[in-house]
Amino acid sequence: MPASPVLPKLVGQRVKRREDPRLIQGRATYVDDIALVGMQHVAFKRSDIAHGKIRKIDTSAAAAMDGVEAVYTGADIAKMLPPMPIGTPFPSPEHRAVAVDVVRFGGEPVAVVVARDRYVARDAVDAIVVDYDPLPAVVDVEQAMTGKPAVIHPDFANNLAVPLVPSGTGVTLDGKVDDSAVDAAFAAAEVVISQRMVNHRLAPSAIEPRGVVAHYEPGKGTMTIWSSTQNPHILRTFIAALNGLGQDQVRAIAPEVGGGFGAKINIYAEEYVCSAISKALGIPVKWNEDRSEAFVATTHGRDIIGYVDLAAKRDGTVLGLKIRLIADIGAYNMLLTAAIPTLTMMMANATYNVQAIRTTLTEVFTNKTPTDAYRGAGRPEATYFVERAMDMLARELKMDPAEVRRKNFIQPNQFPYTTQMGAVYDSGDYGKALDRALQIANWEQLKKERDAARAQGRLVGLGLSMYVEVCGLGPSAALPTGGWEHAQVTIERDGRISATTGASPHGQGNETTFAQMLADQFGVPIEHITILHGDTGVVKQGIGTFGSRSQAVGGTVMHLAGAKVKAKMAKFAAAMMEANEDDLVFENGTIAVKGAPASAKPFAAIAAYAYVPVPLPPGLDPGLSEEAFWEPANNTYPFGCHISMLEIDRETGEPTLLKMFAVDDAGTLINPLIVEGQIHGGLAQGIGQAMIEEVSYSEEGQLLTGSFMDYAMPRAIDFPRFEMASTVTPTPVNPLGAKGVGEAGTLGSTPCIVSAAVDALSEFGVKHVDMMLRPEKLWRIIQSPRQSSGQGGRS
């Protein structure tokens, strides 16, 4: 037998993404590439005011246009679809996919056109005339809490979607609140830091906007829906329910998805409407979001104010923490809207052994696009509030920002560590990550560089931030959708492997990492493996990709399904080779008896035997395909440390990020190249938020940043080189030891950059400045009379 090539082990290697050649050559298939015979095009008439009563909608001119198939108002759609469901247990006002009586944010759908092509559809939209009675726009979230200038939903007094919810020390499951420990901590404090901080609103801005093709086949009574979604199985569940179909009658397909960042978890009005229209008309229909729509119709992220109080001793020991959170959730609850800010509460303990924490959360409706998950989803906000407060403490005590943190770390021997917020941190070594970051940044030298620059009159500052986040989302007790994942691994008759995953990727590189794992598991070339995803007709079950869970949960179940089919294949091999199945080695495309390489049989030969098993070994059924469900017992808690150096132009206030260092601990790394790419993307979005990205509304509730001419999408030229390193602290939560990394970069970067800006402005006595670091804002600080004390928070 010819010698097989020796196959290298791939897990842990920098394997290039198998997805990339088709993506960068324009050979991938996105929703907009789907074309079906007889397909009609849908366009939405959207409200151009933030708040108002619909007096009258005149669709007659649109309906009369050549090429227009149908026009629907909100009232028409309400007959076809029940109100939109949400995925959290919070109370929620009725939310119709298309507004019926009242519009509550600019961009809310008010009518729908179905037409021959996109252009006719858009022309018809322009021909629809809507007559509004404008109502006062609720824009300022803290004013909104007083019911002024209007109440958006009659059943939600003072616009409170979720009135004050407490959590932390002394809060019991039955809702009782005992403040004594927190009060005692503040009574014992030698120094108290108090600051209002704004974590402002962002537009997720995936390069591929959303899109839907819905195809109801009346003859079969089944629906196929293509959508640019992060979770086709969840989409299927909701589309079936709202269209009165069974889940067996709906097939949901996420083809190539050009970025999601959390905003494509939601099931949106457009998905419901397209499916309902296709069912009503019996024809396939398509809708593709244009960029202007994406800014108003796709959920926004962040937008939460934190009133932070931190109690400490003068030696830097943190005694207690209070954070009062006010979340501006926009006009409606979407799928996870109400739950996102609870993650901010959940992570208030950060990396610190603080024993007294009180957080409270109020969620408020305003006349803006609804918020929901955006990369990091609640955890970057927590990190920002706590880390900025830690930095202010260091500044107040004239301590090194690294040392004040080190003094308060949860120690490695304290894991698993139950926080005051009820989270159980799985594993961690925060001191190690901090040390590594100080080392790669050359911290002492960096401080000298800063001081030398200052001596020349330059405004240069350093920022440092720790972070810990919650990833690998599960178990089911923590996720209303179910906190598991599913995989099926099939050894095909020719010995190649196809595997399905419910963790539907949109940039995570699962086709590569999962194939790396299977290649090692079976000892076959990675080229012989295909990872299938994103189609409920192919992938039996799944939850989806969000919360940095695809590797930790989806990767684990892939490994487990692989183990099952490997065990069965070993039985076939043992029978064929008259060997003991426990003595077999899978390597280099063969299966051999351990220590007897001459016994090796080609992998493909065993596969072929399993499908034509003559004779059929006793106790075995033919075939090699096994599936697995698995859910973790707990989340994972990756962590890290970011350091930045930033300069502010004394004359203009323009900030320039000079250096950025990131040390991330995501547990065991399957593919360090993909991990670095994920961190790069996360850093870009974190730095973007800190420095240039901000969704702004006028006092009338008009979106002022409705295009990339005004909303600054970060580009490569906006960044210095990222200097990165990792520490590896495996999680005990899953057998891979992998924690998750998709969101990590967004966590440490914002506080680290703002702290660097405050450091750069230290000669002006500034203690805090809100993001984003708009040049004019910084210039005004530089221009203002110097403050010897007091809070410098401006926004």
Polymer length of the chain: 795
Binding mask 282-321 for other proteins (x = CB under 8 A): --------x-x-----------------------------
Q: Does the protein bind other proteins through residue 794 (CB under 8 A)?
A: no
Task: Tell which one of 576, 713, 725, 728 touches other proteins (CB under 8 A).
Answer: 713
Closest to other proteins by CB, 440 or 712: 712
Interface positions, 633-652, toward other proteins (CB under 8 A): 651-652
DSSP 505: -
Min dist. Cβ of residue 125 to other proteins (A):
9
Interface positions, 180-199, toward other proteins (CB under 8 A): none
Min dist. Cβ of residue 114 to other proteins (A):
15
Min dist. Cβ of residue 292 to other proteins (A):
7
State the CB neighbour count (10 A cutoff) for residue 297.
22
Question: Which token pair is 290?
Answer: 């244009």
CA dihedral 15, 18, 20, 21 (to 10 degrees): 120
Closest to other proteins by CB, 120 or 214: 120
Q: Does the protein bind other proteins through residue 700 (CB under 8 A)?
A: no
CA of residue 538 relative to chain centroid, distance: 25
Q: Within 13 Å and on the Cβ side, how many CA atoms surround 569?
A: 33
Interface positions, 646-685, toward other proteins (CB under 8 A): 651-652, 654
Query: How, if at all, do strands 52-58 and 129-134 pair?
Result: antiparallel
* Cα dihedral across residues 714, 715, 721, 723: positive or negative: positive
Q: Does the protein bind other proteins through residue 118 (CB under 8 A)?
A: yes
Task: Tell which one of 55, 218, 580, 708 touches other proteins (CB under 8 A).
Answer: 708
Q: How many residues in the shown chain lie near other proteins by CB under 8 A? A: 31
Pick from 333, 315, 343, 344: which is nearest to 372 by CA?
333
Q: Does the protein bind other proteins through residue 704 (CB under 8 A)?
A: yes
Min dist. Cβ of residue 120 to other proteins (A):
9
Q: Does the protein bind other proteins through residue 775 (CB under 8 A)?
A: yes
Closest to other proteins by CB, 614 or 709: 709
The one-letter amino acid at 306? G
Min dist. Cβ of residue 527 to other proteins (A):
35
Q: N- to C-terminal Cα distance for the chain?
A: 74
In 3-state terms, what secondary structure has residue 460? strand
Closest to other proteins by CB, 540 or 777: 777
CA of residue 616 relative to chain centroid, distance: 48
Whole-angstrom distance, CA of residue 110 vs CA of residue 107:
9
Q: Does the protein bind other proteins through residue 407 (CB under 8 A)?
A: no
Task: Tell which one of 4, 194, 498, 696 touches other proteins (CB under 8 A).
Answer: 696
Task: Tell which one of 77, 81, 423, 692 touches other proteins (CB under 8 A).
Answer: 692
Whole-angstrom distance, CA of residue 266 vs CA of residue 375:
13
Give one DSSP letter per residue of 183-230, joined into a string.
Answer: HHHHHT-SEEEEEEEEEEEE----SS--EEEEEEETTTTEEEEEE--S
Q: Does the protein bind other proteins through residue 207 (CB under 8 A)?
A: no
Give one DSSP letter per residue of 22-50, joined into a string.
Answer: HHHTT----GGG---TT-EEEEEEE-SSS
Pick from 171, 65, 53, 176: which is nearest to 113 by CA?
65
Task: Tell which one of 53, 55, 715, 786 touches other proteins (CB under 8 A).
Answer: 715
Whole-angstrom distance, CA of residue 741 vs CA of residue 747:
11
Query: Which span sits near other proteins by CB under 8 A: 120-128, 170-178, 413-421, 679-687?
Result: 120-128
Q: Does the protein bind other proteins through residue 753 (CB under 8 A)?
A: no
Q: Does the protein bind other proteins through residue 710 (CB under 8 A)?
A: yes
Task: Tell which one of 241, 585, 712, 725 touches other proteins (CB under 8 A).
Answer: 712
Query: Which span sits near other proteins by CB under 8 A: 91-99, 150-158, 444-452, 775-783?
Result: 775-783
User: What stretch of H or E contains 660?
Assistant: strand 655-665
Q: Does the protein bind other proteins through residue 270 (CB under 8 A)?
A: no
Query: Which span sits near other proteins by CB under 8 A: 127-135, 165-173, 560-568, 771-779?
Result: 771-779
Contact (CB, 8 A) for 264 and 257: yes
Contact (CB, 8 A) for 490 and 479: no
Closest to other proteins by CB, 451 or 710: 710
State the CB neighbour count (10 A cutoff) for residue 707.
11
Contact (CB, 8 A) for 646 and 460: yes
Query: Which span sits near other proteins by CB under 8 A: 317-325, 639-647, 711-719, 758-766?
Result: 711-719
Min dist. Cβ of residue 569 to other proteins (A):
51
* Cα dihedral across residues 485, 548, 248, 611: positive or negative: negative
Pick from 132, 112, 78, 108: which is nearest to 332 by CA?
108
Closest to other proteins by CB, 222 or 292: 292
Closest to other proteins by CB, 581 or 718: 718
Pick from 62, 470, 32: which is nearest to 208 by CA?
32
Min dist. Cβ of residue 119 to other proteins (A):
6
- Beta-ladder partners of 661: 643, 723
Contact (CB, 8 A) for 729 and 436: no
Min dist. Cβ of residue 713 to other proteins (A):
7
In 3-state terms, what secondary structure has residue 497? strand
Q: Does the protein bind other proteins through residue 535 (CB under 8 A)?
A: no
Min dist. Cβ of residue 99 to other proteins (A):
22
Q: Does the protein bind other proteins through residue 779 (CB under 8 A)?
A: yes
Point out which residues bind other proteins (CB under 8 A).
118-119, 122-123, 126, 290, 292, 651-652, 654, 691-692, 696, 704-705, 707-713, 715, 717-718, 774-776, 779-780, 783
